[in-house]
Amino acid sequence: MRIRLAAAAAVVALMPLSACSSRDNTPETGTTQNPAAAFQTIFLEALTAVEPGLAADPDAIAKGRSQCSVLDDGDSDGHAAAMRFSTTEHPLTDEQGMAINKALQLTICPPEK
């Protein structure tokens, strides 16, 4: 379990965050790369590191975006994320929820500056 959480943290830590500055992750430079898609891919990789199989959920990105509002309200303890992303096949702990929240904050819903 701790290895998976560490792997999720490592995946997210390797992300190139410097090219994006706004909530919707639009690039500061005139690149043709789609940063939103890249952040979604990295988020899905982090989900897989937290619990294999979570990224296979076709609603994973939508669940992540919904979780952004919880994070915006200041609730990052992990319980809400664990409940949102848990399935009968993949029940999650609050600790895993915290890892998901961290991945979200660094990818598809970073804190507003």
Could you tell me if residue 111 is inside a domain?
Answer: no
Please tell me the distance from the alpha carbon of residue 82 to that of residue 101, in angstroms, as a whole number.
Answer: 9
Could you tell me if residue 23 is inside a domain?
Answer: yes
Question: Considering the entire predicted model, what is its pTM?
Answer: 0.72
80 near 72, Cβ under 8 Å?
Answer: no
Provide the number of structural domains found in the chain: 1
Could you tell me if residue 113 is inside a domain?
Answer: no
The packing angle between helices 35-50 and 94-106, to 10°, is 160
Which tokens sit at 108? 């598809």
Could you tell me if residue 76 is inside a domain?
Answer: yes
Question: Does the pLDDT of residue 107 top 80, yes or no?
Answer: yes
Which tokens sit at 22? 């706004």
Please tell me the distance from the alpha carbon of residue 106 to that of residue 113, in angstroms, as a whole number.
Answer: 13
Quickly state the pLDDT bin for 17 (edges 50, 70, 90): very low
Range of the domain at 19: 2-106
Quickly state the pLDDT bin for 3 (edges 50, 70, 90): low
Could you tell me if residue 112 is inside a domain?
Answer: no
Q: What is the pLDDT of residues 5-16, one digit of tens each?
A: 555 555 555 544
Q: What is the pLDDT of residues 49-95, one digit of tens each?
A: 999 999 999 999 999 999 999 999 988 899 999 999 999 999 999 99
Could you tell me if residue 83 is inside a domain?
Answer: yes
Could you tell me if residue 41 is inside a domain?
Answer: yes
